[in-house]
Amino acid sequence: EIAGAVLADGVGGIALGQLREGLHSVTPRVEGALDDEALSSFATSAHLLARAPLARRLDAFLEDAEAPTVVRELATLERAIAEVRPNDEATHLSEPVPTRLKGGVVLANLSFRVLEATHDVVALHAGGEAVEGAFAWVVGAHDDGVSLLPCQPDELAFFRAAANEAQSVEGAPVSREWLREALVAGALFWRPRATGGTLA
């Protein structure tokens, strides 16, 4: 009822223009895909009144509305980007990566989250086309920005293993190139020896 009154006269709550601006700040590509009818449906839904970040409320609305899978996956990606937070403690506990990555162990940065999708929504977020397939990334904050690290199945399995316990660099079932990319992205941290834990 509150949202309906807002749509009628703009009194007592958020106007549609303000709602669109709010969505654009956290889910820009999804907001651009919402026509006025879809935006009005969101504004009059119970999801808008829920106690949750705006991007999460939109996610729940899109799920209930049975929006196309690619739109829901894009919304999940953009919400993950909006919600990343730096892991300062983990950064301080990590060690500088040697020029030649030989020996030592790597541990997962647990502030990173795994995203899997059936469309390349990272390309869609960047303005490209969302081709279908099996895609996975780990997403998190790093160096005052956001890291989006693509992962093949073996790389994703390695990241998940490193989230449970330190993984040896020697004999790792992933390429050194990907390991270094993950370290540069902040998704993994390197230490010269095992410490028996993860960087939470």
Q: How many CB atoms lie within 10 A of CB 29?
A: 18
Structure tokens at 38: 């879809």
Q: How many CB atoms lie within 10 A of CB 16?
A: 16
Q: Report the alpha-carbon distance of residue 124 to residue 137 in Å, rounded.
A: 14
Q: Report the alpha-carbon distance of residue 185 to residue 108 in Å, rounded.
A: 11
Structure tokens at 140: 């998190």
pLDDT reported for residue 28:
92
Structure tokens at 48: 């808008």
Q: Report the alpha-carbon distance of residue 118 to residue 139 in Å, rounded.
A: 17
* pLDDT by residue, tens only, the chain of 200 residues: 333 333 434 433 458 888 999 999 999 999 998 988 999 999 989 999 889 999 999 999 999 999 999 999 999 999 999 988 877 665 656 667 767 777 889 999 999 999 999 999 999 999 998 899 999 999 999 888 899 999 999 999 999 999 999 999 999 999 999 999 999 999 998 888 755 444 44
pLDDT reported for residue 69:
95
pLDDT reported for residue 89:
62
In terms of Cα–Cα distance, which of 106, 117, 122 is closest to 190? 106
Q: Which runs of E-coded beta strand occur in 37-171? A: 105-108, 113-119, 132-142, 145-150, 167-168
Structure tokens at 55: 């991007």
User: What pTM did the predictor assign?
Assistant: 0.79
